[in-house]
Amino acid sequence: MSNDFEGKKIKLLSIFRKKQDPLLINTGDEQNIQDHSVQLPRKSAAREWIESLVFSLIFVFFFTTFIAQATQVPTESMKPTILVGDHFFLDKFAFPANYPEFMTKVLPTRHISRGDIVAFKSPENPKIPFIKRVIGLPNDALEIRDKVVYINGRALDEPYKFFIDPNVYERGSGIPRDYIVRDNYGPKKIPPDCYFMMGDNRDNSNDSRYWGVVKGSDIIGKPLFVYWSYEADPYDPRPKSVLEYAHEYLSVALNFFSKTRWSRTGKILR
């Protein structure tokens, strides 16, 4: 009788301990749960590669469209500040030309000051970006007399400007208009929300003297710094064959170290 009582007592204690100690719970239910769990199919390597590629392309598109972009200047219009072959990053964040109109209302305002170097859509061909320096601000009265810029009647101090032609072409001299406005222009009142742009290389720059002011909504961004500079030739507009392009790329590869302007790496553009 006592043995039966002791056996029942041990069995009750064993059941009580299992209820109190999670480590003693029967694992049979867990096995059943595992057996009935849904096994998700593994992605194939090709699918993972495609998803990664699509994500990367979306990120690159978003970053280069709205945030920053690597670019270069193929002409000498900003010499000596920016040289042909200078590759630099362009800060595009919150500049209106990069965003749909509804987004510009919620973006912070980017301030444009006289003397800033900016990229913008060309008034002649919006698909081609230009990079020039801001000379005239909205509501300024601007005039150029004998290659000197006057803002609201006062000569503008421009330590960055550069000339390659010592001649000054006067009004009424009978020479083509393009030569006259190069050295003598205006006076002109700059409209609201518009800017007068000029290249630092004043005798070799296609700028506001020839095609007018730039709207603030057409400004793309501001250059930051040079990350690579290579001794390249100015832009050649004539059509090139595949063989000519291949020759140019091969030349860059072979002369990378000897023609890289190492001293310009990291140069802040301003």
Q: Are 150 and 144 in contact (CB under 8 A)?
A: yes
Torsion sign, CA atoms 34, 39, 45, 50: negative
Report d(CA 186, CA 144) in Å as an integer.
6
Q: Are 69 and 197 in contact (CB under 8 A)?
A: no
What is the token pair recorded at 260? Answer: 């890289």
Q: Are 141 and 189 in contact (CB under 8 A)?
A: yes
Report d(CA 35, CA 33) in Å as an integer.
5
Report d(CA 75, CA 159) in Å as an integer.
21
Query: How many Cα atoms sit within 13 Å of 268 on the Cβ side?
Result: 2
* Element at 118 (helix H, strand E): strand 117-121
77, 205, 208, 229: the active-site residue: 77
Report d(CA 268, CA 74) in Å as an integer.
18
The reply to whether 217 belongs to the active site is no
In eight-state DSSP terms, residue 99 is S
The reply to whether 222 belongs to the active site is no
79, 121, 132, 222: the active-site residue: 132
Buried b or exposed e, range 30-40, using 16+ CB within 10 angstroms: eeeeeeeeeee
- The residues that are catalytic are 77, 132
